[in-house]
Structure 1
């Protein structure tokens, strides 16, 4: 149970960091870099940070969080991710249905929730990463037609003390410049994107649509089996 929670922590940070080792813009697509290669290279990069942090994270946690943040900031669309978690409360259709004041309020709420998600993920899940310094992580081989695809799923196996590895599926898609970006992730049949959105919608109903209160009291859900 504890391992499963730590696993979800590791995977969210690795997933959000996808693309960190391929920051050459369009060059990623031009060079024929596959989604599988992006996942594999970035996994190695992030885990190298984690390995080094074991020596100082307890005494200087902000240094560790900053190191993780430097990987995430250039490549993560935190605003787009936050909008997805807000689900029907932040759709284009809802935005267009609001008057000028309502639209301004929604933009402000999305800005605040983006920062809440950004800070919360780095700190909450950064802690879980420290438990995985020695884990063996294997990425499956890409299919022959991946170079021409706009969306693919990347399978990743994480080996621990368990008999069978944990299976993770990264659902990847290309952005307008051709770079591979994370769209969603499934851990052992648990769809994390749906879990986050479900929590937000449940909290919004409980607060009778008061999104400001939902954002102010938001905490990331824990994934367990």
Structure 2
């Protein structure tokens, strides 16, 4: 089960792709182009990525940097504690969150070995102002179809990802609940929460259909 979830939770990293994004792209094209670009890079560099974890982490960092809105995610995950935190604490958590996410899931990137990834056509209501959702299906080696939904926020004419829902597991909500639990554990000491933060997720989602339906609501 842990290996399955490591693979499923690495899928979003596989498609949060390269920084060759045209500003005028529709949100589904952003994800679709990222799928093609990064899976080709994995196929081309699989041997090096498999034997060099540091290089794999560097690749994952490069791929996420220009598409994922880490500053927006930091605010969403910290929730009501964001306003109480100092600028230094906010920046420290952003860096810790990013590094932890890369560290946790970089090992899963090379699990992609040609499995089918299909970005679904966008439907009515998938874009609402500066918010959008893009739905995707990933077929595992056993033939299981895993639904994935990305939520994106448009700023300066560029769509950037701010949440992912994998098989009903809303990662934004999971991380926010994790932050709340850590604040309680460390008696409200934000510095301790940051120092001990880990992005590991080992729980299984509930109802994929309900989660996807809620995707445009953000984290």
Within 1, Cα distance between the matches of 2:127 and 2:73?
Answer: 25
How many residues are treated as equivalent by the alignment? 203
User: What is residue 61 of structure 2 aligned with on the other side?
Assistant: 69
Contact 2:6 2:105 in 1 (8 A): no
Alpha-carbon distance between aligned partners in 2 of 1:217 and 1:148, rounded to the nearest angstrom = 37
* Unaligned segments of structure 2, at least 5 residues: 205-219
Pair 1:110 & 2:96 matched: no
Deviation digits for residues 176-220 of structure 1 (CA, Å, limit 9, x no counterpart): x12112132222222110000000110111110011111111111
Q: Counterpart in 2 of 1:199?
A: 178
Alpha-carbon contact 1:19-1:180 (below 8 Å) kept = no
Larger Rg: 1
TM (normalized to structure 2)?
A: 0.82
2:8 alignment partner in structure 1? 7
Question: 1:19 offset after TM fit, Å?
Answer: 7.1
Distance 1:58 1:158, change over 3 A: closer
Q: Which moved more, 1:129-138 or 1:198-207?
A: 129-138
Residue 38 (structure 1) aligned to one of 21, 30, 33:
30
2:73 is matched with: 81
Distance 1:7 1:148, change over 3 A: closer
Distance in 1 (CA, whole Å) between partners of 2:30 and 2:9 is: 19
RMSD of the TM alignment (CA)?
Answer: 2.3
With normalisation by structure 1, the TM-score equals 0.80
Task: Report the equivalent of 1:47.
Answer: 39
Contact 1:156 1:168 in 2 (8 A): yes
Cα distance, 1:14–1:89 mapped onto 2, change above 3 Å: farther
CA contact (8 A) 1:8 1:223 kept: no
